[in-house]
Structure 1
Amino acid sequence: MKEDPPVISIVIVSGYSGAGKTVALRALEDNGFFCIDNLPIGLIGAFLTSVSEGHTNRRVGIGVDIREKEWIREADSIIAGLRREYPIEILFLESERDVLVRRFRETRR
């Protein structure tokens, strides 16, 4: 009899530009998560299906850009649909305005 695969643990990381999404994804990777950044929200379902069918790592971190139009329009319905199949945690990062401005100045030309 074939055993059911272990449940995938999913963390979706989003937030303001400069708030630390990349750092959060790196921390998840350091803790054994397979992470992918800037995945269009419309591809998350297909990605998770692929992971559940063959990837050995059952812990996944996904970075999503809140500026993506599809995220703004459809995030609630897409996440609700995904939650019917997978346990999902959402990590939304924000920061004080002066910190965001400083980070933007440090990393942009």
Structure 2
Amino acid sequence: MKKKFESKHKKCPSCGAKISKTARICPECGQNFIFHVPEPKSWQFSLNTENCCSIFLILLIAIALLYLIFPLFKTIFLIIGVAVVVIILIILVIFAKLVYRIKKMFNF
């Protein structure tokens, strides 16, 4: 089985120094023997959530104060909460259907 970065060269084409089969760069002159390096298959994605907790905490405190101060806010908050839960459930069902179609398409 051929190794991924195995070289066919025994000597460096530019300076003539001896190299090993697994060498990618000549130790003498720095010539690169690998002309096609495969690109990474996945994206590196990171999300910084340091400040999100404080924003959510402020929102929760504001909602709690409104809930305690205004009695009418309780019904409005209940209606908005139910609407948000229904929207989240609809999004989850749509996402589940898409995942099922993708799994079916690729036969996982």
Task: Decide: shared fold, TM above 0.5.
Answer: no
Where relative contact order (Cα < 8 A, 6+ residues apart) is larger, the structure is: 1
Q: Which has the higher strand share?
A: 1
Normalising by structure 1, report the TM-score. 0.22
Largest Rg, 1 or 2: 2
Point out the structure with the larger helix share: 2
State the TM-score, normalizing by the size of structure 2.
Answer: 0.22
